[in-house]
Structures are given as structure tokens and as C-alpha cells.
Amino acid sequence: MAVAFFMKSLDTTGMNTLAYADLTEPQTNNGSSIASTMQKLSISFGVATAGLTTAVFVPNLDAANSTEMIYGLHTALLLLGLVTILSSGVFRSLKRSDGSNVSSQKLLHHG
């Protein structure tokens, strides 16, 4: 459980850093509103997706036995994990220099 909380905290910190990385001082107020809204929307979409996925794979409570129920939950969780892994592909569009103005690391240019 502690690892899950740590990973969620790390994710939030990283996303917040990227949200403010290219903003000027006057833009940070609007950036804060947009970043907060996007985080709340992403949580809402995640909960809705998890609920719909579970509803598709978990059989009716009255007609299912425990084996069918567990199989349906496992299938739903595996699919949600796959969607999570695939959604991380959006970060492939980041350039090496993105966020460099808030980073203490220096970019090394070879050449």
C-alpha cells in the first residue's frame, strides 16, 4: 500500500512539474486552474472506466458463483492495467528539453 501511495505521489509531482514548466509568472494562475481541472477530470474518467470495465466482465451477482466473479474481476483488472500501460505512451511525445527550465539538470549536447 505504501508503494502505491508513493507512486501516486511521484506521478502527481511529475505531472505538476510538467504543467508549470513552460509557464511564465503571469500565466501560473491560469495554469494552476487548468492543471487542477485536468487532474480531477482524469480521476473521474479513470473511475468511470474502471466501473464500466468491471460491469462488462463481472457477471450478475444473483446468477454468478464465486469462481465466475473472481474470473471477471481478474479480467477487468488485467484490462485496466493494460490500458494504464498503453496510456503511458503519451509521454513519448515529450522532448528531452521539456521541463528543463524547472530542472536543475543541464542538458548535454553531443556534437
Cα–chain-centroid distance for residue 35?
A: 13
pTM for the full model? 0.65
Residues 10-67 have pLDDT tens digits of 878 877 777 777 777 778 778 888 888 888 898 899 899 999 999 999 887 777 788 8
Dihedral (C-alpha) 27, 28, 29, 33: value to the nearest 10 degrees?
Answer: 110
Residues 51-101 have pLDDT tens digits of 999 999 988 777 778 888 899 999 999 999 999 899 888 888 877 777 666
Identify which of 53, 55, 43 has the alpha carbon closest to the alpha carbon of residue 80: 53
Spatial CB neighbours of 38, under 8 Å, sequence gap ≥ 6? 19
Run of H or E including 85: helix 66-87
